[in-house]
Amino acid sequence: MWDNIRVAQIAHDLIYQESDSENIADFDPSCIYCAGGSKSRIRNYRNFLIYFTNHYQLTDVTDETNLTFEKLSRRLEVLIQESEEEIHKETAKSARKNTEEIFETVRLDRIPKISFNDTVSILIRVAFETNVFKDPDCIKIAHQLAYQKVVRDGNYLKLSEEETVT
């Protein structure tokens, strides 16, 4: 999936290469990649952008990113309120789809080294654990734990119990 996202961004850049601007927000407003982030942003979304910048080298977003984040937030809030036995598979699938869509509407400085599916899982876990980015103090810890779980489950690296608590 990372390759598909990168190809779409390269195609977009080729279409608009005659422009002097480097920002995707400065191009065609009817294009999903060009529609800039002009909406007012809630604190959770700003925390999300800070997280994305710190962990994924975010360089640009669109209004579509903001809208998709709002959809993801609503779905995750439903999942947070439900007990584990009551989790609706459709809500969880929709949350995953929204997370995948977020990666399609942002520009990252580099492609993450882990798989697209694992990156989506990490983002969902961080959003879930921080109550949709409400608690910025927990974001770094939630990311570390989610990343370590993906690494352990993928058998990329064996971590001791002491290392996973840090």
In tens, the pLDDT along 113-129 reads: 889 999 999 999 999 89
Q: What is the pLDDT of residue 165?
A: 42
Whole-number Å distance between alpha carbons of 72 and 66: 10
Q: Identify whether the C-beta of residue 143 lies closer than 8 Å to the C-beta of residue 118.
A: no
| The pLDDT of residue 158 is above 50 | no
Q: Identify whether the C-beta of residue 26 lies closer than 8 Å to the C-beta of residue 13.
A: no
Tell me the percentage of the chain whose pLDDT exceeds 90: 34
Mean pLDDT of 3-32: 65
Segments forming the whole domain that contains residue 90: 2-165
Mean pLDDT of 70-85: 80
Any idea which of 14-18, 45-49, 84-88 has the lowest mean pLDDT?
Answer: 84-88
For the stretch 94-102, contacts whose Cβ atoms lie closer than 8 Å and that sit 24 or more positions apart, written own/partner, are 95/124, 96/120, 96/124, 98/68, 98/69, 98/71, 98/72, 99/72, 99/123, 99/124, 99/127, 100/1, 101/64, 101/68, 102/65, 102/68, 102/69, 102/72
Whole-number Å distance between alpha carbons of 11 and 73: 30
Flag whether the pTM goes above 0.95. Answer: no
- Chain segment 144-154, per-residue pLDDT in tens: 999 999 888 87
Q: Count of domains in the chain?
A: 1
| The pLDDT of residue 141 is above 70 | yes
| The pLDDT of residue 18 is above 70 | no
| The pLDDT of residue 65 is above 50 | yes
